C-alpha cells in the first residue's frame, strides 16, 4: 500500500491498489478532547469506503483533515500523494459537508453556476441537475427547499466539478427513507462512473447498502475494518433471551457471550453463535425458562462493535458513547 503511494500517476482509477488518500498515525485533539487517536486509514482509487461510527466518533474530523480544513496534531495526512491543503488537490475533490445554513436567497441553478465556475472542467449544468435529481428545482431558492432537496443541492455542489474523489459527510442524516434511497442511487451512479468516494455515516444499513469497504470508528479509533459482510460476520450473531437464576457475572463469563443486558425479569445475551451458549446455559441452570433465540439486528451488531473496544471477555453492559455533536 505504501509502495503504491510512490506512483505518480494517481489519476489512473483503473488500478484499485492505488492509494488516493491516507491518514497515517493521525492524532487530532480539540483542547482536552482526543477526537482521533493514532488513526491509520487508507482510501483506494475507485472504491467507496464508509467510515461508520456513532455521533462524536471522529468521522467528520477525519474528513476535515483529508480536506485540509484542519491540521493533525501528529501523524501524516496525504491526498493524491501530497498534503491536502495543496490548492490543486481541491480541483480533484468534491465535498458534501454538514452545513447549518446555506445562503437561502440564491437559486439552485445559481449555487451550481458559482461552484462550477471554480473548477477547470465542470460538468454541464443540465448534467449536474440530472445527477442530483434537481431538474425541476433549478429555479427554486435554496430557502424554499425541503430537507431532502437541500441535501441534493449540497450533493450537486460536491459533484459539479466532476471530481475524482468525493467526500460525503453524513449525506443522508435527517432524511426520510425515500429521500435517503434517492440519494443512495445518486451515490451509486458516482461509483459506477469510477469515482472514489469516502462516505461517513452512523447508519450501518447505509454503509452496508453502499460501501465496498467499511471502517468502524469509535471514540477516535478505528476498531474494525473490512467488507460490509466481514463487519457483519464479526459482530452480528444471535440474541438469546431467557429467565435464569444465574448472575450477570456468570452469564458474562460464558464463552461466546459478547454482551449481557437485564430486561425486566429476563436477561438478554448477545452471542456470536447461539448453540454453544444455550448448551452451557442449560447445563448451568436446569430451571432456565422462557428461552428465545433471535438474530441480532444490524444495528445491534454495530452497537456491539462500538460499545466495547477492549475484547478481553469482560464486556461492559453499559454502552459508552462520546458526547453528542462533537466532531
Partner 1 sequence: MSTVSVALSHSQMQRSPSHTATIYLKEAKYEFLKNLRLRVYTASVLSFPLMFYVLFGLVLNSKQAIGGTAVPTYLIATYGTFGVMGASLFGTAAGLASDRGLGWLEVKRASPMPPFAYFAAKVITSMIFSAIIVLALFALGFTLGGVRMPLADFLRLLATLVAGSLPFSAMGLALGYFTGPNSAPAAINLIYLPMSFCSGLWVPFMFLPKVVRQIALVLPPYHLSQLALGIVGAGRHESNATHWEVLLGFTMICLGVARIGFQRDQGKLYG
What does DSSP assign to residue 297? P
Query: Distance (Å, rounded) from C-alpha 233 to C-alpha 217?
Result: 17
Q: Of the candidates 60, 47, 98, 63, which has an alpha carbon nearest to the alpha carbon of residue 210?
A: 47
Minimum CB separation of residue 327 from partner 1 in Å reads: 10
Interaction of residue 325 with partner 1, rule CB under 8 A: no
Assess contact for 43 and 20: CB atoms under 8 A.
yes
Interaction of residue 90 with partner 1, rule CB under 8 A: yes
User: With CB under 8 A as the contact rule, which of the stretches 99-107, 206-214, 278-286, 287-295 interacts with partner 1?
Assistant: 99-107
Binding mask 159-188 for partner 1 (x = CB under 8 A): --x-----x---------------------
DSSP assignment of 38-94 equals: EEEEEEETT-EEEEE--TTSSHHHHHHHHTTSS--SEEEEEETTB-TT-HHHHHTEE
Interaction of residue 44 with partner 1, rule CB under 8 A: no
Assess contact for 169 and 200: CB atoms under 8 A.
yes
| CB of 86 or CB of 205, closer to partner 1 | 86
Could you count the other beta carbons within 10 Å of the beta carbon of residue 146? 12
Which residue among 35, 62, 154, 251 contacts partner 1 (CB under 8 A)?
Answer: 154
Minimum CB separation of residue 91 from partner 1 in Å reads: 5
Interaction of residue 324 with partner 1, rule CB under 8 A: no
Binding mask 217-256 for partner 1 (x = CB under 8 A): ----------------------------------------
User: With CB under 8 A as the contact rule, which of the stretches 44-52, 66-74, 210-218, 238-246 interacts with partner 1?
Assistant: 66-74
Interaction of residue 114 with partner 1, rule CB under 8 A: yes
- Please, where are the H alpha helices in the chain? 2-5, 59-66, 87-91, 108-118, 125-131, 147-159, 177-192, 204-210, 228-235, 248-253, 274-284, 298-307
Minimum CB separation of residue 105 from partner 1 in Å reads: 4
What does DSSP assign to residue 164? S
Interaction of residue 118 with partner 1, rule CB under 8 A: yes
User: With CB under 8 A as the contact rule, which of the stretches 43-51, 64-72, 226-234, 271-279 interacts with partner 1?
Assistant: 64-72
- How many residues at the interface with partner 1, by CB under 8 A? 49
Cα–Cα separations (whole angstroms), residue 213 to 203, 251, 327: 14, 34, 22
Assess contact for 196 and 168: CB atoms under 8 A.
no
Minimum CB separation of residue 152 from partner 1 in Å reads: 15
Query: Distance (Å, rounded) from C-alpha 44 to C-alpha 41?
Result: 10
Query: Distance (Å, rounded) from C-alpha 326 to C-alpha 263?
Result: 31
Minimum CB separation of residue 12 from partner 1 in Å reads: 12
How many residues comprise the chain?
A: 327
Interaction of residue 64 with partner 1, rule CB under 8 A: yes
Query: Distance (Å, rounded) from C-alpha 322 to C-alpha 238?
Result: 26
User: With CB under 8 A as the contact rule, which of the stretches 98-106, 132-140, 144-152, 190-198 interacts with partner 1?
Assistant: 98-106
Minimum CB separation of residue 295 from partner 1 in Å reads: 39
Which residue among 92, 150, 180, 202 contacts partner 1 (CB under 8 A)?
Answer: 92
Q: Binding residues for partner 1, per CB under 8 A? A: 5-10, 64, 67-71, 73, 80-83, 86-95, 97-103, 105-106, 110, 113-115, 117-120, 141, 154, 157, 161, 167
Amino acid at each position: 500500500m505504501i509502495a503504491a503511494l510512490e506512483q505518480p500517476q494517481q489519476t489512473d482509477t483503473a488500478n484499485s491498489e492505488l492509494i488516493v488518500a491516507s491518514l497515517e498515525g493521525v492524532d487530532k485533539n480539540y483542547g482536552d478532547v482526543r477526537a482521533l487517536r493514532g488513526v491509520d486509514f487508507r482510501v483506494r482509487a475507485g472504491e467507496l469506503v464508509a467510515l461508520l461510527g456513532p455521533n462524536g466518533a471522529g468521522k467528520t474530523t477525519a474528513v476535515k483533515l483529508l480536506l485540509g480544513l484542519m491540521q493533525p496534531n501528529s501523524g501524516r495526512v496525504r491526498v493524491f500523494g501530497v498534503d491536502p491543503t495543496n490548492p490543486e488537490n481541491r480541483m480533484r475533490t468534491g465535498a458534501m459537508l454538514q452545513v447549518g445554513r446555506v445562503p437561502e436567497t440564491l437559486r439552485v441553478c445559481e449555487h451550481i453556476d458559482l461552484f462550477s465556475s471554480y473548477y477547470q472542467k465542470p460538468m454541464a449544468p443540465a448534467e449536474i441537475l440530472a445527477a442530483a435529481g434537481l431538474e425541476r428545482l433549478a429555479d427554486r431558492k435554496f430557502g424554499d427547499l425541503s430537507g431532502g432537496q437541500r441535501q441534493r443541492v449540497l450533493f450537486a455542489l460536491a459533484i459539479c466539478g466532476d471530481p475524482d474523489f468525493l467526500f460525503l459527510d453524513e449525506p443522508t442524516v435527517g432524511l426520510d427513507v425515500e429521500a435517503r434511497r434517492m440519494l443512495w442511487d445518486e451515490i451509486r451512479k458516482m461509483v459506477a462512473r469510477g469515482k472514489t468516494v469516502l462516505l461517513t455515516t452512523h447508519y450501518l444499513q447505509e454503509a452496508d447498502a453502499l460501501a465496498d469497504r467499511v471502517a468502524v470508528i469509535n471514540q477516535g479509533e478505528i476498531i474494525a475494518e473490512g467488507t460490509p459482510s466481514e463487519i457483519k460476520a464479526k459482530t452480528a450473531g444471535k440474541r438469546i433471551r431467557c429467565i435464569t437464576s444465574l448472575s450477570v457475572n456468570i452469564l458474562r463469563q460464558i464463552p461466546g457471550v459478547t454482551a449481557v443486558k437485564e430486561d425486566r425479569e429476563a436477561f438478554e445475551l448477545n452471542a456470536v453463535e447461539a448453540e454453544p451458549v444455550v448448551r452451557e446455559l442449560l447445563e448451568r441452570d436446569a430451571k432456565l425458562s422462557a428461552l428465545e433465540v433471535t438474530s441480532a439486528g444490524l444495528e445491534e451488531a454495530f452497537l456491539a462493535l462500538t460499545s466495547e473496544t477492549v475484547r478481553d471477555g469482560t464486556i461492559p453492559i453499559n454502552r459508552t458513547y462520546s458526547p453528542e455533536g462533537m466532531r
